[in-house]
Structure 1
Amino acid sequence: MASEQAYGVTPPISVQLPTEAELRQSDALLEELKRQKTFESPAETAKREEVLASIQTICDAFVRRVAQEKEPKNEVLIRNARGKVFTYGSYRLGVYGPGSDIDTLIVAPKYVTREDYFKFFPDLLLSMAPKDAITDMAVVTDAFVPIIKFEYSGISIDLIFSRVIQKQLSPDFKDLKDSGLLRGLDEAELRSLNGTRVTDEILTLVPEQSTFKNALRAIKLWAQRRAVYANIMGFPGGVAWAMLVARVCQLYPKATFSVIVNKFFLVMSQWRWPQPVLLKPIEGGPLPVRIWNPKLYKGDTYHLMPVITPAYPSMCATFNITRSSMAIINRELKRALQISESIMVGKRPWSDLFVKHTFFTAGYKYYISVTSAAKTKEAHTIWSGYVESKVRMLVQKLEQHQSIALAHAFNKGYERQHRCHNQEEIEAVQEGSLDYLCKEDIEQTSAVKIEPAVAELPIKAENGENGQLITSENGRGDEQVKSENG
C-alpha cells in the first residue's frame, strides 16, 4: 500500500478521522458562515467573471498597441501580441465574498514595460469598457508595488503589472509556476508575479482544498470582526492568514473544517514565535535575489511573527507586525480558543466567535485619530493611502514611550465627504469637525460613533470643486503603563 502524501515541514499532529459530532459542528459552522453572508450569489460571481473577461480583452489590445508602436513593421509580432490576466489573493483562493475586491495581475511579453502600462492601459480601460463602467480610478506609479485601482461595474479591482522574458506569450500560457519566468525582472515585477505564485502554491500544499477554504472563510471573518486583519496596519493580511490556516490543515490532514478552526486557535496561541511558520522547506533558486534568512540578514531577525511564503523567492508576509499588534493578536487567539472549545462541546453557538470588536466602545481610555484630506476622490485615494502606510510607524514610535504599554492601530479608516464654503470650514474639518458632512455620510457616521480623540493630527488640504473635501480617519487606542491606582 502506497504511503499517503506528507504535507509540511513536520509530521502531522493527528490523522484521526472526524467524529459524527465534529461533522455536525462543521454543518453548523457552514450555516453560520452563510448567515453571516460570507458567500456571494452565483449571479455576483458570474459578474466577476464577465469583468475579468473584459479586462483580458483590454489586456490583449494593450499589448498589441505597444507592439504596433515599438515594431510597426513586424506583422508577426503584432499578430501574436497578447497578454494574460491572472488573479491572486482571496479571489484566486476561492474565499471571496460579497463586496470583495479582485486582486489582478497583467502579464505581458518582455518588450512591454511598466511605463507602457501606465501610459496606455488607463485610457484603453476607459475607452473599451462599457460606458460609465469604470469609476474611481487611481493610478499609483510610485507605490511599493505600482498599481491601478478602479471600480468596474461596482467591483473593486487592484490591477498590477509584470512582464516576463518571453518575446511573446503562447495561447496556452496558463500559470506562473516556472521560477525561470522571474529572470530579468526588477523587484516590483518580482513582487507582482509572486502574488499569484504564492496563492497557487498554498493550494497545492493543503491536504483537502474544500476543508482549507471553509476554515479560511471562518478565520477571515473572525479576524475582520476582531479588527486584526490588515497588513498595512501591522496585522496579518489575507495571504498571511491563509498560510497560517494552511499550516494547521497540514497538521490535521484528516480533520473536518470545524476542527481546523478550533485547532487553529490552539496551535497559533501556543506557537513559539519567532519560530517561522513554513508550509514547506525554504528553497533556493537560480536568481541572485534575497530569500528570507535570519542567519544571513539582520533585518529578518526583527520579524516578530514570521510567516514565510512558499513560492521562490520566499519572503516574510508579516514583516509589518509590531510589538503591540503581536500582543493584540495573541490576546485575540486566546479569547477565540476559549470560545471555540466551548462551541465544540455544544455549550455555545458559532455566532459567539464572530462577535464584533469593542475598540471604540470599551477597548481603551485614550484615542488618537489621524485625518487625511484631499479635494478630489482621485487625489484622496493616493494621499490617504500614503498616510495610511505611515500609521504603523507612528504606532512604533508610541510603543517606545515609557508611559505607553500598548498602541493599537485600528485596522481600517473611515471615509467621509464634507461640503465646505470657506477656508475656515475647511480648517475645522481638518481638525476633526463633523459639522459639514455631506448628507449621505451623516447616517453612516452616527451608526459608527468614534470616541473623542486625545489628539488630532490634521493633514492640510485644499478646497475642492464646489467646496467638497474628502477625509479618511484612522484610529489608535493607547494603554498607559500605570494602572489607575498605580
Structure 2
Amino acid sequence: MAKPTNGYLGVTEPISLSGPTEIDVVRTRELEKFLANAGLYPSNDDAVCREEVLGRLDQVVKTWIKRVSRAKGYNEQFVQEANAKIFTFGSYRLGVHGPGADIDTLCIGPRHATREEDFFIELHNMLAEMPEVAELHPVPDAHVPVMKFKFMGVSIDLLYAKLASLVVPEDLDITQNSILENVDEQTARSLNGCRVTDLILRLVPNIQNFRTTLRCMRYWAKCRCVYSNVSGFLGGINWALLVARICQLYPNALPSMLVSRFFRVFANWRWPNPVMLCQIEDVPSLSHTVWDPRRHFKDRFQHMPIITPAYPAMNSSYNVSTSTLRVMTEEFQRGDEICKAMDENKIDWKTLFEQYPFFESYKHYLEIDIMAENEDDFRQWHGWVESRLRILTLKIEKYTYNMLQVHPYPGDFCDDTKPHSCSFFMGLQRKPRSQSDEGEKLFDMRATVEEFKQVVHTYTMWKPGMEIRISHVKRKDIPRFVFPGGVRPQRPARPVRPARSKPSDAATAVTGKVSGVAIDESSERKQVQVQGLHLDGVANGNYLEASEQVEGSSGIKDTDVFSKEAEDIAIKNLTDGSVPEMELPDEIDELQYLEFQGSGKEQGTGNGTGDAAPNALAPANTAHISTVTAPAPTTVTEPSVADGNNNEDGEMQSQISSETNVSSPLKRKAPEELEELELAPTFHGVNPLAAQNTQRKPLRYV
C-alpha cells in the first residue's frame, strides 16, 4: 500500500477541509435516529454473543492445529507452539453489520495444515461433533473455498489460508505483502478480503463517520434495489470503497454531509474512470496480476472500476454491466436531487430511503423460475443459477446492441404453494433513442434465452429435477406472491419528477418491442445522460499514477470561507478531463469467460452469498465446464408475433417460451438472411441498413 503523502489520504487532495455547520450536526443526529429506528444497529446482547462465538471459534482452531501437528509426527514442543488464528472481515470487521448478519471469518494456519484434508475433513469433523454447531455445509470446490455453519445460532462463513511458514505468530499483520510469498491462489484469494477490509479502515480519516455513512449507504442501496454483487450491482465491499473515497475528499465532514456529497460526486462521475483509495503498487517479486489498463486489455473495458487498495489491486466491481450501471447512475442522480431538496428543507431523510417500486417501474419483465426435487438440491441449484444470471443480462445487451436495457432484481421470490422453487425477475426497457429510429421495434430474444439455458445446464452437479423456465411477463400479470401479503397494490398516480436544470440532459424512453415484448413510450424510468467528467484515474485514455494526479491544488484549504460555488469549482478542478470515445470490445470474449467462471463466493458449486469477494478477476477452476460460444441471434421456427398495441398498455400478447423450437441453438443466420428488425446499429460506423437510412446515427460509448 502506498503511504499517504502531503498530509492527506487518497490519490488527490481533499475537496474541502471545512468542518461541520450547526445544520450538519442537526441533520446527522436526525440521520442516526432514522437508522436506529430502521433497526440497523445490533443490540448489546447480540454484540456480546458474537464476541463469545468468535472467542470459542478461535479456541477450536487452536485445538485443531495442535491435533494436526501431532498427527503429522512433530515433537511435543512444536505441537505446543503450533498456532492458528481467526480474523474477521466484511461488514463485521468494518463495524456496519446489522442484527442477524453473518460473520465472515478467515482461519490462518501453517504450511503443514492442508486445506483439502486437514481443514475440510479434520476441522469439519471436529465442528460436526460440537452441539453448538448446526447446518454445517462445506464448499471445498468454490472459487474461494468456504465452510458455512451456525455457531450458537450465529451464521459463520469460514475461509482458510495456508501460509508458507511453519509458525503463525499471534501478532501476525496480514496487510504486509510478504504474507503472499509462496502461497497458492486459493490462499491469496482467501487473504484478500481481510487485507482489503483492514486497509480501508486505515485509509479513512474518521472511522466513526465512515461507519455511519457506510451503514446509511448500504441501507439506501438495499431500499433502491442496487445492492447485490452477484446481480451486477455493488456488494458490501464496493459500497465501502466508494464511501471511503468520499471520506477522503471531505475528511472533516459529518455523515449527513458525506451522504449528500456521495450523491453529488458519483452522480457526475465519468465511468469507466476508476475509483481508488491509494496509489496502485506493483511488487515485482510477487507474480500476482495487478489491475492496470495499460498492460491488460480486459481492464480497459470494465464499466465501473472500483479498485481494491491491497496488493494485488483488482477491480472489485467486475460484475457491473451496461444496464446495471445505468440503473445505479440514475439512482445516484435521484439521491443528488433529494439531497438538494433537503438542503432547502423541502423533504426529510424518509424520502431518500423510499423503497424502489420495481414492479411498477417497467411494463415488461423476464421471469426466471427454478425448481429442484429437495431442499439440498434446491440450495445448490439456486446458488448456481443466481451466479449465472449476469450472463443472461450480458447476452441480452449484446444481441440487442445495447438497445434493450435490463434491470435485474437483486433477490428472489418464493411461492409458498410450490416447495423447493423460486423466481427471479428482470425489468426490460428499450434504450431511449431519436425519432429517426422509429422503425426498429422488434427484439427476438428466444435464441438468447435458449443459449443461456445451455450455459446453466453445464452445471456439473446437475441432478434430475433441477429445472429452469424463462418467460415474458407483462406488468399486469406479475404473480401475486411477489407482493407483501400476496396483495397487488393499487397503481398510484404517475409522480411528477423534479425539473432538471438542463432539460436536454434527460430523454424519455420511447416505443419499442421485444420479440413479443413491446416497450411502450410511457415507460416510467428515464435515461439521463451524464456529463463527461474525470476522476481519479484515466485521462486521455491513459492510466495515471497517483503522483501525476495530485499535481496542483484542487482542494479548498481555507476552512473559514466556504460556499457552494467554491465547492463546485473545486469538484470541477478535481474532475477536469474526459475519457475519449472508446470502442467496445466484442463481448463474446467476456461471455465465454463468464460461462467458465463467476466471481467471489459464487464460484464452484454456486453456493454464493450475494457479495462477491474483492478478487473478481482471479482465475477460477474451470476444467469441469465446457465452452459455450455466443454468436448472433438464432434461427427460430416460430413466426413473428403480431403487434398488440390495442390492449391496455400497448403491450404484446406473447411469451418467451422455455420450450421454443430452435433448429440449432448455436446455428446462426448469415447477415443477408436476417430481417430488418433483427439488425441494430453497430457501435462504430453504420450497419447494413444504414445505407438506406441516412438519418440513422451510430451509437457511441461515452
Where on the TM-score scale, by shorter chain, does this alignment land: which range? 0.7 to 0.9
Kindly report which structure 2 residues correspond to 1:382-461, keeping only aligned pairs within 5 A, or say none: 382-402=380-400, 405-414=404-413, 447=485
- 1:468 aligns with none
- 2:100 aligns with 99
Which ranges in structure 1 are unaligned for 5 or more consecutive residues?
433-441, 456-471, 475-481
Taking structure 1 as reference, are residues 134 and 382 closer, same or farther at Cα in structure 2, changes over 3 Å only? Answer: farther
- 1:37 aligns with 39
Q: Deviations over 1:174-210 (max 9, x none)?
A: x312111111112221111010110010011111111
Native 8 Å contact 2:174 2:194 kept in 1: yes
Native 8 Å contact 1:77 1:168 kept in 2: no
Native 8 Å contact 1:22 1:344 kept in 2: no
Matched to 2:365, the amino acid is: Y
Taking structure 1 as reference, are residues 376 and 167 closer, same or farther at Cα in structure 2, changes over 3 Å only? Answer: farther
Matched to 2:14, the amino acid is: P
- Looking at CA atoms only, which structure, 1 or 2, has the larger radius of gyration? 2
Matched to 1:114, the amino acid is: R
Q: CA deviation at 1:309?
A: 0.3
Higher helix share: 1
Tell me, yes or no, if structure 1 residue 109 matches structure 2 residue 110: yes
- 1:189 aligns with 187
Native 8 Å contact 2:415 2:481 kept in 1: no
Tell me, yes or no, if structure 1 residue 305 matches structure 2 residue 304: yes
Tell me, yes or no, if structure 1 residue 90 matches structure 2 residue 91: yes
How many pairs does the alignment contain?
Answer: 439
In structure 1, how many angstroms separate the alpha carbons of the residues matched to 2:167 and 2:487?
Answer: 54
Native 8 Å contact 2:381 2:466 kept in 1: no
- 1:477 aligns with none
In structure 2, how many angstroms separate the alpha carbons of the residues matched to 1:428 and 1:150?
Answer: 24
Q: CA deviation at 1:5?
A: 2.5
Q: CA deviation at 1:427?
A: 7.8
In structure 2, how many angstroms separate the alpha carbons of the residues matched to 1:449 and 1:114?
Answer: 49
Taking structure 1 as reference, are residues 32 and 275 closer, same or farther at Cα in structure 2, changes over 3 Å only? Answer: same
In structure 1, how many angstroms separate the alpha carbons of the residues matched to 2:235 and 2:405?
Answer: 21
Native 8 Å contact 2:368 2:469 kept in 1: no
Kindly report which structure 2 residues correspond to 1:19-34, keeping only aligned pairs within 5 A, or say none: 19-34=21-36
In structure 2, how many angstroms separate the alpha carbons of the residues matched to 1:200 and 1:25?
Answer: 29
The farther-off stretch of 321-330 and 278-287 is 278-287
Matched to 2:485, the amino acid is: A
Matched position secondary structure for 2:399: coil
- 1:366 aligns with 364
Taking structure 1 as reference, are residues 231 and 412 closer, same or farther at Cα in structure 2, changes over 3 Å only? Answer: same
In structure 2, how many angstroms separate the alpha carbons of the residues matched to 1:189 and 1:149?
Answer: 17
In structure 2, how many angstroms separate the alpha carbons of the residues matched to 1:241 and 1:145?
Answer: 21
Matched to 1:213, the amino acid is: R
- 2:616 aligns with none
Matched to 1:29, the amino acid is: L
Q: CA deviation at 1:216?
A: 0.5
In structure 2, how many angstroms separate the alpha carbons of the residues matched to 1:419 and 1:339?
Answer: 41
Q: CA deviation at 1:48?
A: 0.9
Q: CA deviation at 1:95?
A: 0.6
Kindly report which structure 2 residues correspond to 1:274-353, keeping only aligned pairs within 5 A, or say none: 274-285=272-283, 286-353=285-352
Q: Deviations over 1:431-450 (max 9, x none)?
A: 69xxxxxxxxx999753679
Matched position secondary structure for 2:230: helix
Taking structure 1 as reference, are residues 383 and 419 closer, same or farther at Cα in structure 2, changes over 3 Å only? Answer: closer
In structure 2, how many angstroms separate the alpha carbons of the residues matched to 1:97 and 1:349?
Answer: 23
Native 8 Å contact 2:19 2:253 kept in 1: yes
Task: Compute the TM-score of the two structures, normalised by the length of structure 2.
Answer: 0.59
- 1:461 aligns with none
Q: CA deviation at 1:379?
A: 3.6
In structure 2, how many angstroms separate the alpha carbons of the residues matched to 1:349 and 1:273?
Answer: 30
Native 8 Å contact 1:138 1:381 kept in 2: no
* Candidates 241, 244, 247, aligned match of 1:246: 244
Matched position secondary structure for 2:155: strand
Task: Compute the TM-score of the two structures, normalised by the length of structure 1.
Answer: 0.84
Matched position secondary structure for 1:408: strand
Q: CA deviation at 1:240?
A: 0.7
Which ranges in structure 2 are unaligned for 5 or more consecutive residues?
421-463, 471-479, 490-515, 518-607, 611-644, 652-702
Matched position secondary structure for 1:135: strand
Native 8 Å contact 2:108 2:168 kept in 1: no
Taking structure 1 as reference, are residues 80 and 86 closer, same or farther at Cα in structure 2, changes over 3 Å only? Answer: same
Native 8 Å contact 2:372 2:465 kept in 1: no
Q: CA deviation at 1:154?
A: 2.7
After TM superposition, the runs of 4+ consecutive aligned structure 1 residues lying more than 4 A away are 415-421, 426-432, 442-446, 448-451, 482-485
RMSD of equivalent CA atoms: 2.9
Taking structure 1 as reference, are residues 15 and 387 closer, same or farther at Cα in structure 2, changes over 3 Å only? Answer: same
